[in-house]
Amino acid sequence: MSSQITLLFHKPYGVLSQFTAEPGSAWDILASWIKQPDVYAAGRLDADSEGLLLLTGNGALQQRLTDPRWGHWRRYQVQVEGQISAEALEALNGGLVIQGQRTLPARARPIAPPADLPERDPPIRHRLNVPTSWLELELREGRNRQVRRMSAAVGLPTLRLRRVAIDLMDGAPPLSLAGLQPGQWRQASGAEQERLAALLRQAPRHPSGGGL
């Protein structure tokens, strides 16, 4: 049954997290890539972001995955313009005021360029006199363009952004992008479906929190 199916999709750059085209939009949509009926995005990635997107036909699961009270950690790899300083990491980890609201504490650390990074079409812009760096950033909220706004707030404009994992519960392996090339998707494995089912039986981690 489609209501029991959960898909893991490696959303490419330039694709909206929806099946219906927007009038006048040049962005692609999920219908070009996923032919499985009656599944819907649980959460979103902006069109200019890449990476792991979950889709499900289970309305209760979709609500649980996007409700900020459950506070799932989401892991991002972020290419930024400039060099990452200790002060920038401290600010990201401690929380920033974005659009008048403080973000929840994050987990931020510098990383080497990902070895499995696919080519992007179009490629990012390069300025010869400005270096770029890579940052791993984990958030448990998903406000509008939050990663980009946070990196800009500490003087590190985002050039490329991809979500690589979603942590459903403490002590269990996350759902990840591993093994999926841009545009590829697969059904959740039996073990992953069990973790998703267990998620529906859990109490909220946080009484309240930032919106997704």
User: Are the folds of 2-69+176-201 and 72-164 the same?
Assistant: yes
What are the sequence ranges of the domains in the chain? 2-69+176-201, 72-164
pTM exceeds 0.85:
yes
d(Cα 163, Cα 13) in Å, to the nearest integer?
12
Give CA angle at 174 (9, 60), nearest 5°: 70
Residues in the chain: 212
What's the whole-number mean pLDDT along residues 82-87?
Answer: 96
d(Cα 56, Cα 4) in Å, to the nearest integer?
7
Topology given in CATH for the domain delimited by 72-164: Alpha-Beta Plaits (3.30.70)
pLDDT, tens digit (0-9, with 9 covering 90-100), for 25-41: 999 999 999 999 999 99
Does the 2-69+176-201 domain belong in CATH 3.40.718.10? Answer: no
Share of residues in the chain with pLDDT > 70 (%)? 94
Residues with catalytic function = 46
Tell me 40's DSSP state: E
Parallel, antiparallel, or unpaired for β 97-98 and 175-176? unpaired
